[in-house]
Amino acid sequence: MLDDLRVLRDAVREYRVAATAAGLDWPDQGESPAGPPPDLVYRIFGVDHVAEQLAWLQSQRWPDRRLLPNGGWRMPWPQGGDVLDHLGLSIGTPFPWRRQLPLFHFDVVLYTFVLAGEHEGEIWRYEISPDAWDSVRAATSLAALFDQWTRGIAAGAVVVDDHNRWLQVNGVDAVAGLDPLAFPVAPVQETLLRPRQRECGVDMAIVEDGFAHQEDLLDAIDVAQASLRA
């Protein structure tokens, strides 16, 4: 789902306010208008448009540090086809694997923004593990994701770690109103993961035979990267 841009702007602003109130060093650098994505983005992901909501988020002047829960960071616009390597765990998604842009990196979890189709604007998550077939929707939209993170801070389930000075996730599954899948915690309990996968349209037959399908996916990534170099 694509948010109204005003709703997204408010959600991001409220997250920054909550994060700084919790002790995160994130000075206000003002808001920037949405700038156009690099032309290469259209070629890499095979799309003919990029949502203004994503362009706006990528245009914001954030400090070069880990501002997201569990020390995550916003990834920059991709500079080449190597970014497709991040999608090698995109098993069983209800949209073409290439129609998503890696957006947030959390060391052990990757979040992507779906670029086109009926799932446009959704945020999907993948555990960075060679045998974890956990493709699943993290949030229906960017604003919904930031709202969950803000709620997590308000509930005390996301706090600033005294050592790293990052936001640390702790105990979100015990707080009513919080969606654990919106937070970059891994691994995910099977009792939570599998029903959500079915709910958001993941092909469970592909997930259950993940190794075989991942080989096909890695071959497709190689082909796409070769076409970009041509």
**Mind listing the pLDDT tens digit for each residue in 92-150?**
999 999 999 999 999 999 999 999 999 999 999 999 987 788 999 999 999 999 999 99
Q: How far apart (Å, rounded) are the C-alpha atoms in residues 135 and 210?
A: 11
Tokens representing residue 199 in the block: 């709910």
Give, in words, the CATH class of 5-229.
Answer: alpha beta
The pLDDT value recorded for residue 25 is: 94
Q: What are the strands of the beta sheet with 109-114, ordered from one edge?
A: 73-74, 100-105, 109-114, 123-127, 136-139
Tokens representing residue 72 in the block: 């995550």
On the CB side of 173, CA atoms within 13 Å amount to 10
The pLDDT value recorded for residue 133 is: 86
Helices 52-59 and 5-21 cross at an angle (nearest 10°) of 30
Domain ranges, ordered by start, for the chain: 5-229
Given pLDDT bands bounded at 50, 70 and 90, which one contains residue 22?
very high
Q: How far apart (Å, rounded) are the C-alpha atoms in residues 99 and 107?
A: 22
Q: How far apart (Å, rounded) are the C-alpha atoms in residues 209 and 206?
A: 5
The overall average pLDDT reported for the chain is: 95
